[in-house]
Amino acid sequence: MDVVVVGAGLAGLSAARKLVAAGKTVAVLEARDRVAGRTMGGILSNGVPVEMGGQWVGPTQDVVLRLIEELGLETFQTFDQGEALTVVDGDVVRYSDRTYGLPPESAVEAGGLWDQLEALASTVVLGEPWETEGAADLDRQTLDSWLVSHTEDSLARRFFRILVPALFSAESPELSLLHFLFYAKSGTSLDSLMNTTGGAQERRVVGGTHLISERMATALSDAIRLNSVVRTIHQDGTGAVIKFHIGYDTPFWRDDGLNGSVWSFDDAFNVVLDNSPNDGSCGYWSASLKAPTPAPPVC
């Protein structure tokens, strides 16, 4: 055996695939009883496939887009027509602009913070982020401490405290400012990370992203060893993320001119998105929430 790969997710299977192509013998050890890691498929009661983990692909994600095509899979455009909703302090606001439904003053403040973070992200050295000017200072701060020191607008801070778990599955006090900036630049920009059309949520894989791993695993065949735990790696049980889906007979919100996107400042699940199949044969929303952690200080 030339190489042992730990984990049969997208990264592990891609590495194993390249090694086999280079003539190496490989064993892929996976602790679960399935491949695909953080991408996981499920089936609704009506037989429609649903993605229980990571699901979107978009512009600039060239490697996975090439892989999807190479494996004979197809993508389809994420539904993105109509207005979105924001729930804040009991009020429901419809919007179709870049304000995210925030009151004018808070929208301007959040936009200013956004621009400052984009400017900082543009300075990050992607290949060696620790070589970024002021990297040590950026890494000593959390994103949340930066927000507190840069605005007194509570709604603007709350906006970013909702945005961060949606992107990182972590809270803003848990996130190094340098890592946030590195991630933003890696995804081209915050705009690209947040947008549907033209952004990271632009397309979905027909049948689900778990099919990418499953097709790679089929080609690797006997190299995959499921239920094989590597016991020298340890992981604690904190910081879990829960994703859930709610299904309906039809995507009824579209008839009301809504795109299915909801931001809530009031609820445990803060970001909800239209996750209906391409043919619109039924409607379902997906949402995620992070397991409770100590709340950031009120400032």
Structural tokens at position 203: 């397309």
Residue 211 CA from chain centroid, whole number: 18
Over its length of 299 residues, how does the chain's per-residue pLDDT go in tens digits?
A: 899 999 999 999 999 999 999 999 999 999 999 999 999 999 988 888 899 999 999 999 999 999 999 999 999 999 999 999 999 999 999 999 999 999 999 999 999 999 999 999 999 999 999 999 999 999 999 999 999 999 999 999 999 999 998 888 899 999 999 999 999 999 999 999 999 999 999 999 999 999 999 999 999 999 999 999 887 655 566 676 778 888 899 999 999 999 999 988 888 778 889 999 988 899 988 887 766 554 444 43
Helices vs strands, H then E, count in the chain: 9, 14
Chain-centre distance for alpha carbon 149: 27
Spatial contact of 215 and 11, defined as CB atoms under 8 Å apart: no
Is the CB of residue 299 less than 8 Å from the CB of residue 123?
A: no
From 163, 167, 190, 189, select the one nearest 86 (Cα to Cα): 163
pLDDT digits (tens, 9 = 90+) for 65-117: 999 999 999 999 999 999 999 999 999 999 999 999 999 999 999 999 999 99
Residue 82, token pair as written in the block = 């109509």
CA distances from 35 to 67, 211, 258 (A): 17, 10, 36
Residue 52 neighbours by CB under 8 Å, 6+ apart = 40, 41, 42, 243, 245
Give me the residues paired with residue 202 across strands.
none
Q: From CA 146, how far away is CA 150, in angstroms rounded?
A: 6
What DSSP line would sit under 221-262, residue for residue?
GGGEETT---TT----S-S-EEEEEEEESS-GGGGGTEEEEE
Q: Which residue has the tokens 């592990």?
A: 12
Cα–Cα distance for residue pair 173/16, rounded to 1 Å:
36
Between CA 290 and CA 269 the distance in angstroms is: 8
> Do the Cβ atoms of 241 and 288 come closer than 8 Å?
yes
CA distance 92 to 107: 16
At 269, which amino acid appears? F
* d(C-alpha 131, C-alpha 154), whole Å: 33
Answer for the pair 165, 268: CB distance below 8 angstroms, yes or no.
Answer: no
Q: How far is CA 189 from CA 59, 160, 200, in A?
A: 12, 15, 10
* Token code pair at residue 235: 């992981």
3-state DSSP helix/strand/coil percent for the chain, to nearest 5? Answer: 35, 20, 40
pTM: 0.76
Contact criterion met (CB below 8 Å) for 209 and 39: yes
Kindly give the interhelix angle for 104-121 and 154-168, rounded to the nearest 10 degrees: 50
